[in-house]
Amino acid sequence: MRENPLWTLVVVFVPFSLVSIGGGPSIFAGIQHQSVAVYRWVTAREFVDLFAIARAAPGPGSMLVTLLGWKVAGWSGAIVATLALFVPSSLLCYGVSKMWNHYRGRHWHTALENGLAPIGAGLILAGVFAIFRVAGAGLLSWAIAGVSALILAWRPKLSPLLVLLGGAVTFAAVQAGLLRI
């Protein structure tokens, strides 16, 4: 019994979309199990490579599924897998956002907004730590992050691209310098 591979991608990724609470990291283990052990789309080694690529490339880390779809069925697989993972959760989020907007101005809405804002700020701060922990970043990364923040606080209109470029060049240069020593 051979099913249409595109349909299989939909069947596998749509449920992951709806349980990925907290974002991509919460479903990576499950996706690995499905694509390596159950459907054998990729080997365990390939999966780790794809994971690293998705992390290195711009965009959410869950673009990992784009690569899995690509491995399974080329361009159409990549598109189908991406839609399967991002559309269901986006529709849900759309519904919630719409309700959120609809009740704007009500007393309880203002209370919710004022109550959620400090949590959002705390989550960002926690996210900064989490990214550094996952990346295994050292002192250099922290220094670059700190200096970038200072530069952007000092010159808010400066293009972030320049700052990112500065960070990239600095990091690569220091690492290359260390290698020679």
Partner 1 sequence: MKPIRTPVPLLAIFLVFFRIGLFSFGGGLSGWIYREVVTLRGWMSDSDFLSGLALGQVLPGANVTNLSVYIGQQLRGPAGAFCAVLGLLTGPFFAVIGLAVAYDRVVDMPWIQNAMSGAAAAAIGLLLIVAVKGAYQASRRLTSFGILAATFVTVGLLQWPLVPVVLCLAPVSVTLAWPRTGSDA
Residue 176 tokens, joined: 């290359």
In the complex, what is the shortest distance from the CB of residue 149 to partner 1, in angstroms, rounded to a whole number?
A: 4
Report the residue number, 1 or 56, with the smaller CB distance to partner 1: 56
What is the secondary structure of 72-86 as a DSSP string?
Answer: HHHHHHHHHHHHHHH
Report the residue number, 39 or 148, with the smaller CB distance to partner 1: 148
- The rounded radius of gyration (Å) of the Cα atoms in the chain is 21
In the complex, what is the shortest distance from the CB of residue 5 to partner 1, in angstroms, rounded to a whole number?
A: 17
In the complex, what is the shortest distance from the CB of residue 1 to partner 1, in angstroms, rounded to a whole number?
A: 30
Report the residue number, 7 or 23, with the smaller CB distance to partner 1: 23
In the complex, what is the shortest distance from the CB of residue 146 to partner 1, in angstroms, rounded to a whole number?
A: 7
Residue 103 tokens, joined: 């009740």
DSSP H or E segment with residue 65: helix 64-102
* Integer angstrom CA distances of residue 21 from 17, 25, 34, 108: 9, 9, 18, 25
Rounded to 10°, the helix 139-154/107-135 angle is: 140
**In this structure, how many other beta carbons lie within 10 angstroms of the beta carbon of residue 90?**
13
In the complex, what is the shortest distance from the CB of residue 109 to partner 1, in angstroms, rounded to a whole number?
A: 9
Q: Residue type at 11?
A: V
Report the residue number, 2 or 75, with the smaller CB distance to partner 1: 75
Q: Residue type at 156?
A: P
DSSP H or E segment with residue 139: helix 139-154
Report the residue number, 2 or 180, with the smaller CB distance to partner 1: 180
